[in-house]
Structure formats: structure tokens, C-alpha cells
Structure 1
Amino acid sequence: MWHKISQLKNHQGFRKYLANTSWLMAESILRIVILLFVSVYMARYLGPKRFGLLNYANSFVGLFIALATLGLDSIVVRALVTTPERQGEILGTAFGLKTIGAIFMWVIILVAVPMTHNDAQINTLIAIIAFAVIFQAFDVIDFNYQAAVKSKYVVYAKLVKLIISSIIKLSLIVSEAPLIWFAWVYCVDAIVLAAGLTIIYFHNDNKFSVWHWRWPLAKKLLSESWPLIGSLIISLMFMNIDKVMLKELAGISSVGIYTVAAQLSSAFYFIPTITSDSLFPAILKAKANPEVYRAKIKQLFRLFFIIAVSISIIITFISEWIIDLLYGPEYHQAASVLNIHIWTTVFVFLGYASTKWLLVEDKQQIQFFRACIALVTNIILNYFLIIKYGITGAAYATLISWIIGMYVFHFFNHSTFELFILKTEAILFFDIIKLCTRPLWPKG
């Protein structure tokens, strides 16, 4: 056994992917810690109202951002892996598409904001944050390094951006800068990251001169990505609609208070993302043996369930202490929101694991339908629960939507009923199939 482990450790491919995952894990943890630290100081300085204004503007832009990304990310990475000889054409065409998409998104937002009930200050914040999206076209350089399994280079650029961004935000707080300057930081972030990716790209002896736009390739990429655009739009709306509706139904200060709780709750989401990605090859390999495959999937669900429930229980007991210590009395109401919102972690974790199952079973299209169900549920519940319960109503709406989308939905869908069984077994810690097939009484 130790000999096999030693062989695995010395395997070039294993070491390459382990190093790549380690860089991503380190970057994720460091990013979350720094972002949380800076966010605490921003929230305390700005107060619930101004912090709510900034996060509402960001969420409003989030409703449209799929128009800029065009669902191209994974499609471009796959194209770079399968046809590396066409790297220049792929990067040039993808860059062009994302630039056009970002400009189109910005124009749509500029047309849409006058139709809202927002005042001039909010609309200005939205326009500034939306402008930053244009520079995300340089993310195609990131895709290039993803395809080459060299994520450490991108991590360098992202860490530099994170440090510069944090220093600027803290400087603005110390100098008591007006709110609009914090919106401009979104643009600075995007420009710094674009510059960092460009420098790294040149440092590795690459040139923009090899990038070329190819219309046939553009049509091919769009034809492959359009099914993903729908899912992306639904997912982004689901992630941002609660803050937008809170502003309309409960006031802008409620957005600031709710955001504080939501940020703390979502700080743990990197765990299932990186863990499921790391375990996915083993699950995929086990597909050849149905019994082993089912056991591994159930183990993954059970692992995520135990971790998520443990986190939720701990946070529930110390939520008031966390909020009062970090954010102060102005945000005390966020504790009651956090007590509810943290339990979405359970179904978010299970959702990440079920996404891998759907991928192995070639049922990715199900993700779109369950996302639609979750979004519609969320909008309806937000409307009624926010009016009746305020910000805690939004937290309940989010929790119930996750339960329906990531668990209940699979009970009513014939093609994913097996997924419902697997999740239930993981949650209840017994094997439903064995229980149902076991005789009611012993023989003899």
C-alpha cells in the first residue's frame, strides 16, 4: 500500500494536478480572509445605508453580467485543451466576443436604470461598477493557463490585485472618502487584474500579435455556449435578486444588514468547490463499478452534509457574538439573518456534489431546470416574506429556495430520483435501498 502511495506521489501527472489544486486552495483561503477583513471595515465605516447602496448597485449589475461572460469560460478552456495549435485564434476570438458582450451589457444597463425607481446616486454607482466588467475580457488569459494546468501564474495576478484593492479600500476608509470612490475601486480592481494577466502573459514569451478574430470560430463558440448562457443568467439572478428585492420592499439599509450576514454565510462555499473538483476524477473512474460508484457518491454527500451541518450549528450559536464583535451594534439585526442564512450552506454543499453526479451521468441540462425552479420560488417567497418579515423573510426565502432546488426537485424528477435517494441516505445515515428490500421479518 505504501509503495502505491509512494508511486502516486512521484507520478508526474499527480504532482502537477496536486500543485495546481494547492495553488487554487491557498488563493481561495487567503482571498476570503482578506476580503472578509476589508469588508468588515467597509461595513463599519459606510454604515448599513451606504453599504447597502454599494451592494445593491453590485447586485443590480450581477443580474446582467451573463451578457458579458456569454457562458464562454469552460467552452474556451476545452477548446484550448483539445486544439492547442489554434491558441491564437481561440484567445483572439474569445477576447473579441467578451468585449462585445461587456459593452452590450453596459449599454443595456444604461438603458434599464432610468426605468427603475433609483435615484441619481444609485444609477451612477451602477454605471461605474458595470463599466468595470469591460476589462474582464482579459480573463481569456486566465483560461489559457487553466488549459495548461498552470494556475499559479493567475494566482500571482489575483493576489496582487487583492492586495492593491485592499490597500486602496482601507486608505479610502482612513481618509473618510465619499461612497462613489468605493464604486471606482471595482474599475481599479478590473484594470489591475487585466494588467497583471497581461504582464504574466508577456513574461512567459507570449504575444498578442498571434491573437486573431475568426468569425466562423466565434459562431462555433457561441453555438456551444448558448445553452450555458441560460443557466448562467438564472444562476446569477438567483444570487442577486434577494438584495434587489430587499431594496424595493424593505429599504436600502436592509440590503446592507442582509449583505453582512450573506457574506459570512457564503465564506464557506469554497470548501465544496475545491473538494468536489479534487475528488471528481476518483468518482469518474469508479463509474465502471456501479456499487463502488454509488458508495463514493454517497460518501461525498455525507462528507459535505457533516461539514455543512457542523458549520451551521457552530455559527448559529455564536452569530450574535460574531456580528457584534466584527460589525458593531448598527448591524446587530444581521445576527438573526445569519442564524437562518447559514443553513443554506447544507444545501449549497449538497448542490455542488450533485452537480458532479449530473456531469458524470451526462444530465447537465437538469441544472437549468432546477435553477429555474429555485429562482421562481425565490422571487415569489421574497415578495411575500419580505413584506411580512423584512430581512429575515429574505433569508427564509433563500433557504427554502435552496431546499426546493437542490433537494425536493429531485424527488419529482424521474431522471434524478436516484439523486434524491442518495442525498436522503447521506442525510439520514442509512441505506434506503437496503431498507426497502429487506424482508419484514426473518425467514424460518
Structure 2
Amino acid sequence: MNEEQKACVETDGGAASDRMWVRYLPLFLRKRFQSRHVFQEAVENSGWLVGDKLLRMGIGLLVGVWVARYLGPAQFGIMSYAGSVAGLAGAIAGLGIDSIVIRDLVRYPERSDEFLGTAFVLRFFSGLVCYLVMLGIVIAIKPGETLTHVIVAIIGWTLTIGAFDTADLWFQSKVMSKYVVYARSAGFLISALVRLVLIFAKASLVAFAVTNLVEIGIGAIALLYAYYRKNGCLRRWKARLPLAKELVHSGWPVLLGGIVSMICLRVDQVILGQISNPKELGVYAAAVRVAELWFFLPSAIIASVFPNIIKAKEVDEEEFYKRLQKLFNFLAFAGYAVAIPVTFLGPFVINLLYGKAYSGAAPMLIILIWSDLFINLAMARGAYLFAMNWTWILLGVNAVAAVVNIALNLVLIPHYGGTGAAVASLLSYWVSAHGVCFLIKPLRRGGQMMTRALLWPKFW
């Protein structure tokens, strides 16, 4: 080993055993990690991200439930409406450039100040424009609802403040997510504490809306400080017009996909808030919060097994489809394992978490929880399409799902309220994951595998 290699090893922390968490692994696993520094970094980085998700899921659920109980369905509905509208606007404000910037930061680290500066300016001004347009539309379609206008105006500022998260792209390119977790956890925990104080102080809805800005603001400040401590300097950031044009041009397919995905996730609450009343939306939002608790499961499973599936495709196509079938089987099993118990325990879960004021959320939750089954399969099918390099099909499928979702919501919500929105979500996710496979020839084999998984799910 030459001197340069020794220096690299010392900088990286030496062998696998030098990492604290590796020391506590069983011997046969510890041996597999030795001299695999890149893999160690990936595992450690993923661990920080999973830990952040678990923290937010646990504390976020408890505090969120407490806030929902305090505000009541009507005010909680207004807050959920504002969050959903801001979410749709945020899908546009991001311009789809994040993954492009991360890729280029990895390829050209010497141009990091140029990429970060350009991305910051694009995200800031795009967020500002989206904020003004969003607020104007809400005022136009909800005349006379001053409280709703105020809450949307407050929460909407997250679109511009979010631009200060640009430093996160640099940390992602360096596989250093623990600093991002530190920063965002600081904002999350402080805002959670503030929300509890507001409940005891019997604060207004406006105060809770401002807390959303507090969380984003503290997280952004902490992230910029972490960036500064890692030898970053904001004053060196420079925006370049030619690069801005290049990023926007490269990011539009991702932007379009992000908009479609956000429509599928949030358009039901926007339409329900527009057609129905805030109380109905608040009850529905409570059901959605519980149903979405399980979204991290398929992501974690796919992230763990998909690299091996890709390797199998390069060697043996039949082995590739065999492993893919196992993935569908397991995700179907996981979907049933969640949906069946919640179907019977839905009323108990809603009453335990939210109280009698939200009892109407129980039937909505029972319907929504079955959509998780098809979300699992849709995510696995999405990974399959990426493996086959059929991303254009994925965009088309998601677009069909969004159109079906909007149409069903417009038809069902006027007659059935939140329950109609839940049915619309279930049917649109089935169409996106399973039904559309039999309309598009390249997807038919995947559709057949999903059918087998739905009829005969297996643990593995």
C-alpha cells in the first residue's frame, strides 16, 4: 500500500472494524464488511435516514394526534387543506432539478458552488412565484373564507423557505445524510415542543400554522450551519443563467412525474376541501394520516432487495423474473398483513387516537388501508420499469392514475364526502398498479405476476 492509499484509509476511518456500529455485528457479518468502505457508508447513511423516518413517524403521530384533538375536525381540516395545496404547489416549485443537481455534484465536485448557487436561485424564485399563484387561486375559489386564506398564506411561505434546504443536495452527493438528519430533527423536535406548549396555552389555529414555518426555518438554519462547518461557504455560491436553463430543461420530465405523483397523493384533500366542508376534510385527513404510516415499508424493502434483482437481470433473465415475483409476493403479503387487522380494528384505532369527534374517519380508514396494498405493488412495478428502462411507461401510467383519481373524486365526493374520496383513492391506485397492466402490452407479464401475488402472497 502506498502513502496515498494509507492516507485515504486513515481519512475514511480505516477498516470496517473501526466503525463503531460494525463492532457489534456477529462475526460472520463483520467479516463481510471488512474492506468494503463504500458499502459501509451506504448502510450507515441509510440507517440515519431510516432513523429519521422512525423518529418523525413516532413523535409526529403522537403530537399530530394531540393537535388534531385540540383543534377539532373543522380547524384541522383547514390546516390539512392548506398543507395539501402547498404540497401541490411545492411539486412545481422544486422544478424537478434536485436529482439532476446531486448527479452533477458527484460528477463535477469542483463546480459545487456554481451548481448550489444556481439551484438556490431557481428554487427561491420558483417558490415565490408558486406561492403568489397558489394564494391568488385559493382566494379566488374560496371567497369570503378569510381564515383559510390566512392559513394558506402562512403555510405557503414554506415554498420559499425551502430553497435554503439547497445545502441538503451537497450532503446527499457526499453520502453524509447524518448532518441533514441532525438539522431537520432539531427543527422537528423544537416545533413539536412548541406545538405542545401551544395546546396548553390554548393558542389559535394561526399559531399552529406559524409553527410549520418555525420547523422549516430552524431546520434550514441548522443545515446551513452544518454546511459551513464542513468547509462550505455560502458567499462562494454563484448563479449562472446558462446552467439554470440547462437544469430546467433537464428537470422537466422529473418535474412532470413529481406533479403527477403529488396529484395522486393530495388532490383528494384539495377537492374535498373545495366541494365539502372543513369538518369533513378534517375527519378524512385523520384517516389519511393513519393509512400513510406504512408508506415507508415498501420503500425500505425495495431499497434492500432491488440491487440484487438488477444483478440477476444482467446474468439470467429468468432469475430476474423469479426474484421479481418474490418481491411482488412479499409486498402483497405485507399489504395484507396491515390491511386485514386494520379492517377489523379501524374504529378502535380512530377512537383511541383521535377521539369520538373523528369517529367518521373509521370507514374511510378501512377503505384507504386497502389502497396501501396496491401502493406496495405499484412501487415494486415502478422499480421494475426502471430496471427495464421503461420510465416513459411509468410516467404514462401515473398520468392515467392521476386523471382517474381526479375524475372519481369529482363524481364521488359530492354524494359521499370523505368516504367517496377514499373509494376514489382505492380505485385509482388499483388502476395505477394492476388494472393498467392489462391495457399496455409491455406490462402484461408484470400484471400477471401481480395477480399471482394478490391470489397467493408469500412471506418470501
- In the alignment, which of 247, 253, 257 is matched to residue 231 of structure 1? 257
The answer to whether residue 416 in structure 2 is matched with residue 389 in structure 1 is yes
Q: CA deviation at 1:5?
A: 5.0
- Paired position in structure 1 for 2:393: 366
- Cα distance in structure 1, aligned partners of 2:306 and 2:107: 20
Q: 2:125 aligns with which of 69, 75, 100?
A: 100
| Aligned 8 A contact 1:62 1:236 in 2 | yes
Distance 1:243 1:170 in 2: 26
RMSD value over aligned CA atoms?
A: 1.7
Aligned residue in 2 for 1:50: 75
TM-score normalised over the length of structure 1 = 0.93
Q: Which residue of 2 aligns with 1:426?
A: 453
Q: Percent identity?
A: 34
Aligned counterparts, 1:251-330, within 5 A: 251-288=277-314, 289-330=316-357
8 Å Cα contact 1:165/1:185 also seen in 2: yes
Distance 1:205 1:323 in 2: 48
TM-fit CA distance, 1:239: 1.5
- Is the 8 Å Cα contact of residues 382 and 394 (structure 1) preserved in structure 2? yes
Q: Is the 8 A contact 1:21 1:278 kept in 2?
A: no
Moved more, 199-208 or 113-122: 113-122
Of 17, 34, 57, the match for 1:32: 57
Cα pair 2:330 2:457 within 8 Å, conserved: no
Deviation for aligned residue 1:421? 2.0
Measure, in 2, the Cα distance between the counterparts of 1:110 and 1:253.
Answer: 22
User: Which stretch has the larger CA shift, 311-320 or 113-122?
Assistant: 113-122
Q: Distance in 1 between matches of 2:214 and 2:101?
A: 26
The residue number in structure 2 matching 1:175 is: 201
Aligned-residue offset at 1:166: 0.3
Describe the SS at the equivalent of 2:89: coil
Q: Which residue type is aligned with residue 269 of structure 1? A: F
State whether structure 2 residue 136 is matched by structure 1 residue 111: yes
What's the counterpart of residue 246 of structure 1? 272
- Structure 2 matches for 1:107-256, cutoff 5 A? 107-118=132-143, 119-256=145-282
Q: Return closer, same or farther for 1:188/1:6 CA change in 2, 3 Å cut-off.
A: closer
Q: How far apart are 1:138 and its partner, in Å?
A: 2.0
Give a deviation string over 1:349-398, Cα, whole Å, max 9, x none: 11111111111111112222112211111122112222222211111110
Deviation at 1:53, TM superposition (A): 0.8
Return the alpha-carbon distance in structure 2 between the equivalents of residues 224 and 419 of structure 1: 29
Higher mean alpha-carbon deviation, 195-204 vs 371-380, is at 371-380
CA distance in 2, matches of 1:417, 1:76: 35
Alpha-carbon displacement from aligned partner over 1:118-150 (angstroms, at most 9, x marks no partner): 411111111111112211112221111111111
Structure 2 distance, partners of 1:161, 1:124, is: 23
Deviation at 1:210, TM superposition (A): 2.4
Q: Is residue 67–residue 104 contact of structure 1 (8 Å, CA) maintained in 2?
A: no
The one-letter code of the counterpart of 1:13 is V
2:35 is the counterpart of 1:8 = no
Unaligned 5+ residue runs, structure 2?
1-25
Once the two structures are superposed, what CA deviation does each residue of 1:332-359 show, in whole Å capped at 9, x if it has no partner? 1111111110111101111111111111
Answer whether contact 1:341 1:398 (CA < 8 A) is retained.
Answer: yes
Deviations 1:300-346 (A, max 9, x none): 11111111110111111111111111111101111111111011110
Q: By how many angstroms is 1:104 displaced? A: 1.0
Distance 2:135 2:48 in 1: 38
Q: What TM-score do you get using the length of structure 2 for normalisation?
A: 0.90
Q: Give, in whole Å, the separation in 1 of the partners of 2:382 and 2:38.
A: 25
Q: How many residues align?
A: 430
**5 Å matches for 1:398-409?**
398-409=425-436
Deviation, structure 1 residue 249:
2.6
